[in-house]
A and B are shown apart, each in its own frame.
Chain A
Amino acid sequence: MTEIVDARGLSCPQPVLMLINALKKTDEGEIEVLVDTEASKENVSRAAEGKGWKVKNIQQDNLEYRIFLVKN
């Protein structure tokens, strides 16, 4: 099951903190992170890659981003 982290409307460093908390519970699989600023998108992607996760895809939907992260 894909875990969803909803960090919309939250400013630094909350999105990355939420991602890291989610990563503590999940060693591998898929995580989906929702953010609504470009800066949060970059920060989340950078932090995920730093933890060995891959950014599989980023969907932009209106003013929101869905970041799909995977680790196998």
Chain B
Amino acid sequence: MFKNFFSTRWGIIAVGAVIGILAPILQKLGNPGNMGICVACFERDIAGAVGLHRAAVVQYMRPEIMGFVIGSLIAAYLFKEFRPRGGSAPIVRFVLGIFAMIGALVFLGCPWRAMLRLAGGDLNAVFGILGLIGGIWIGTLFFKSGYNLGRSQATYTSAGWILPIIMIGFSALLFIFPMIKDQAQNGVLFYSVKGPGAMHAPVLIALVVGIGIGFIAQRSRFCTMGAFRDLILFRQMHLLSGVIVLTAAALVTNLILGQFKPGFEGQPVAHTQMIWNFAGMLVAGLAFALAGGCPGRQLFMAGEGDGDAAIFVMGMIVGAAFAHNFGLASSPNGVGPHGIAAVIIGLLVCLFIGFTMRKK
């Protein structure tokens, strides 16, 4: 029987190393600081590109996200792992996606970016990572007490294609209405003229890197939430070894590229409010745990035909719109005017889901 190399210890380490090297290179090629790859930030930029929110500095149709889904789809088909499925509490997953995004945008990053920020010397990330682990730990307590969103059902192949088709459509829009220098809009797409949304690697490179990462991440089941969850729940280091190697590889790459700048103050797209860095990621980590995957993993599962993961992704994109329209997202100046209220509500919603959706 053919053994999947990527599912071995060396496989997950190799995938962590590849992502850890490619992310800082994408930053070198134009992506924002310590944001070579950030699933939450990039989905937020996509929400802005299609006008779901109108925060002028974070609007761009990020090709990496499309690449992740398409790469995973290709891998799933090539290795006969495409499994169209869905129907495991979709509305719950949608809401978890919304609050996962809101929490991540209070911190300013998904777990991938938390690691990349640390690897770039941003010590504020430490509090985000601690919050992430705390949130996942709460999630494991729910798992131990029977929390479960129920079984998914097999469904039509075309149902599994819905999110990949959306992503292919988004990519098409990017080519039909490309960014024009100093122009805030082209056709239906909004573009940032300044700020992080205006910073990006060349489109084709970003897309190809995204597809490559999507492919190997699908094979390896790379997941930053699962990394800590499996350690806490099962004392298993498998997924965590990938995350550790990602961070180490990104650190080395940043040192080589001159992108390592240690400290708390003046870090790119970051703020220094420790408590809210912690609490934002606490909510996000709990939401990821309850939904069964970090934002990246949800994209890869969606590429394999998992409609429940696709719903979570849509929840995150809608959550980004709420986050910016309601002033919940942080900025380099600190938390947004309603960010603290959003964290508290997000925590209460996640606890409600965790406590009430347990099977005896």
**Chain A 20-49 interface mask (CB, 8 Å, partner B; 1/0):** 100000000000000011110011001100
**B83→A11 contact, CB < 8 A:** no
**B81→A13 contact, CB < 8 A:** no
Q: Which one of B4, B149, B233, B238 contacts A13 once the chains associate, using CB atoms below 8 Å?
A: B233
Please give the number of chain A residues whose Cβ is less than 8 angstroms from any Cβ of chain B in the complex: 21
**A13→B152 contact, CB < 8 A:** no
**A37→B81 contact, CB < 8 A:** yes
Bound-state Cα–Cα, A22 to B148, Å: 17
User: Cβ of A63 < 8 Å from any Cβ of B?
Assistant: yes
Q: Which one of A20, A39, A63 contacts B234 once the chains associate, using CB atoms below 8 Å?
A: A20
Q: With A17-B143, A39-B221 in contact, is A12–B152 under 8 Å at CB?
A: no
Q: With A38-B81, A50-B236 in contact, is A13–B221 under 8 Å at CB?
A: no
A-B CB contact pairs (8 Å), 10 listed = A9-B88, A11-B306, A12-B223, A13-B230, A13-B292, A17-B233, A36-B83, A36-B85, A37-B83, A38-B4
Q: Which one of B4, B79, B308 contacts A11 once the chains associate, using CB atoms below 8 Å?
A: B308
Bound-state Cα–Cα, A42 to B229, Å: 17
* Beta-carbon contacts under 8 Å, B219-235 to A: 221, 223, 226, 229-230, 233-234
**A13→B143 contact, CB < 8 A:** yes
Besides the known contacts A13-B230, A14-B148, 13 further A-B residue pairs in the complex with CB atoms under 8 A apart? A10-B152, A11-B88, A11-B149, A11-B292, A12-B223, A12-B226, A13-B292, A17-B233, A38-B81, A42-B221, A46-B236, A47-B234, A63-B154
User: Cβ of A67 < 8 Å from any Cβ of B?
Assistant: no
**Chain B 175-186 interface mask (CB, 8 Å, partner A; 1/0):** 000000000000
Q: With A38-B81, A63-B154 in contact, is A13–B148 under 8 Å at CB?
A: no
Chain A residues near B360 (CB, 8 Å)? none
Bound-state Cα–Cα, A16 to B140, Å: 13
Bound-state Cα–Cα, A20 to B233, Å: 11
Bound-state Cα–Cα, A42 to B149, Å: 21
Chain A residues near B149 (CB, 8 Å)? 11
**Closest CB-CB distance, B305 to chain A, in whole Å?**
10
Q: Which one of B1, B7, B151 contacts A42 once the chains associate, using CB atoms below 8 Å?
A: B7
**A9→B233 contact, CB < 8 A:** no
Q: With A36-B83, A42-B4, A42-B221 in contact, is A9–B234 under 8 Å at CB?
A: no
